[in-house]
Structure 1
Amino acid sequence: MAIGAKHGEDLLARLWSRYSSWHRLLRGVSWIRRFLHWRQMEGPRQVDKSRLRVSELQASRAAVLGCVQREYYEPEIKDLKERGALRKTSPLISLEPHLGEDGLLHAEGRLEKAPLMTDSKYPVLLPRDHHVTELIVRETHENKAGLR
């Protein structure tokens, strides 16, 4: 069963809108990805009912963020892949974005030599008005403020 790109985007938008927590969204996407992997297996299938692995959650994180970025920043991603640089008219030009090893758009910064983890030095670019961005910001604030 093939799903058109527009229909797929609508399904994703409905999926993220159902979640009020970034962690729960990642878990839900991870279970869906596990199910889809199980459906594609050849031969006898054995259901994996074990807990989600960290690698599955990380892959789901990259998949969700990649979908959001492709929705908002497709021209910039295309330019970086094909030309290696953004057009001067891009709204992201001042952030000096680059494609990371994870395939996501990251912002360059002044923190290159700082003793920080790579995710902190080169944050992933997300649109400010997306529900997924709101979930991430809310969870970060709750965790940093000690609300959990």
Structure 2
Amino acid sequence: MSTRLRRFIRRFRWKTGTVETLISVLVVVFTAFIAGGGIYNLIDRPPTIIGFSGGYVAVRGLQDEQTLMESALSMLFLTLTFLGLLTSYRSTRVVYDMRRASMTLFLGIALIALGLSGSFYLLSLKQMVLRQLGY
């Protein structure tokens, strides 16, 4: 092997902390995929957007069906909520710098609020489309 390739491999060798971090990230991504409707997307192959007489809509009004865009948004909001919880937890670990701890806590709270408000907005859009279609 050339020396460049050996250096490249040495740089990216697994460390003990990296494997646990990778497993944690994979578990979070898998959970967001399942909770966001990824299995439904794989089995049913829903459309990305739906056209009707008033134009196009990315959110289907029925509670038992969803579009691909709606599923991706729900996965994003779930991930943002989890990142907010993780960031808030990490802010409690910083004991030596009060300013950094409070900024990290505020960032975590903002991410939680963004994720939850986005999820509730997605549900309200779904109900609004359902009312417009006359169900």
TM-score (norm 1): 0.29
Computing the radius of gyration from Cα coordinates, the structure with the larger value is: 2
Q: TM-score, normalised by structure 2?
A: 0.31
Greater share of helix residues, 1 or 2?
A: 2
